Structure 1
């Protein structure tokens, strides 16, 4: 029986996977399952090389529908996105986007319709890459501007206090696991892991913010 599978990807801790599912359901999609990648770049990592992406390639069958918020969830690299969509269409998988309600499949045999469809896919993939590059350049420009203005570039404000960090170090030294440390301190597993892997960097972040 054909299934409707949502693929969700978030690249930072500030984004949530649940939000993408909520948007899809609000748009009228009946989602059977969600396959996701978290903390993975859509620029440098191809879909087929991501953990969730591999599952997606293994899972999708002819007649299934793949739902994404927009094509940039598949990736932000032009070649990767166009290759991915064409590969799924060859498998007779239907790709649908929540934003703009676009539908791509391999059902048409008319060469003109195929050309229009392929041009639209190429345009959307190129737009996804261009947006990613523009965002990266804007971030770099902002950092440089702050430095030129004599401001101390501090980065993102830590999500933990000095007391919480000290508690993390204490629990880790006692052999307490990452998940248990996360529960006891109220911090995310990712935050605990970052502090565990690079204690000096975690301390320096607090110092930069005067915390």
Structure 2
């Protein structure tokens, strides 16, 4: 069976242009019917065209992608997919924008080691970047809270008649359901608000 060369394109949304990636593949002589395109996030590999391409891959074929982030954004999952394609499917992978990630160059142990090392390094950098983003977000939230910025839904104001109705409930002049109906308030909210009134909480 003749070795097939496939190109894989991914963009994050339907509005993004695929032409740059498409032209790269056509310049390499990849046939149009062998180019698979997904227009969705790269957070995981639950993508229709990617899965369709995997089913087509046969031993000895070549899988080409423009850049590693077009394959995906989660580098731990990229490692898993890379090893599945190269070890299980016995298919070569080439990343155009990163020549070190090309399994056609060297089939020996050193070539495999270099590819794995580059992927592991990318995985580390990506995870480190995510941690830094989370840290910056946490610092930003803390600084905003110190400035008095409140997050989440604004708390509903206590009705002006709340103290009177709450006191009536405490004195058993009205039932809890009646109090909730008069205040248009949930049971949990009522109890929470009641704790703020020393003369009302039971």
- TM-score (norm: length of structure 1): 0.53
Structure 1 segments (4+ residues) deviating >6 Å: none
**Residues 35 and 14 (structure 1), Cα distance of their counterparts in 2 relative to 1, 3 Å cut:** same
Shift of 1:106: 10
Q: Residue 103 of structure 1 aligns with which residue?
A: 102
Given the alignment of the two structures, is residue 42 of structure 1 paired with residue 42 of structure 2, yes or no?
yes
SS of residue paired to 1:100: coil
Given the alignment of the two structures, is residue 58 of structure 1 paired with residue 59 of structure 2, yes or no?
no
For 1:12 and 1:107, how far apart are their aligned partners in 2? 35
Higher share in helix? 1
**Residues 127 and 9 (structure 1), Cα distance of their counterparts in 2 relative to 1, 3 Å cut:** farther
Q: Residue 150 of structure 1 aligns with which residue?
A: none
Shift of 1:24: 3.2
Q: Residue 16 of structure 2 aligns with which residue?
A: 15
For 1:106 and 1:98, how far apart are their aligned partners in 2? 13
In structure 1, list runs of 5 or more residues that go unmatched: 148-211
Calculate the aligned-residue CA RMSD, in Å: 3.3
**Residues 119 and 72 (structure 1), Cα distance of their counterparts in 2 relative to 1, 3 Å cut:** same
Shift of 1:56: 1.6
Q: Which has the larger radius of gyration?
A: 2
For 1:54 and 1:123, how far apart are their aligned partners in 2? 26
Q: Residue 3 of structure 1 aligns with which residue?
A: 4
For 2:104 and 2:125, how far apart are their aligned partners in 1? 20
SS of residue paired to 1:31: coil
For 1:129 and 1:16, how far apart are their aligned partners in 2? 28
In structure 2, list runs of 5 or more residues that go unmatched: 145-202
Number of corresponding residues: 138
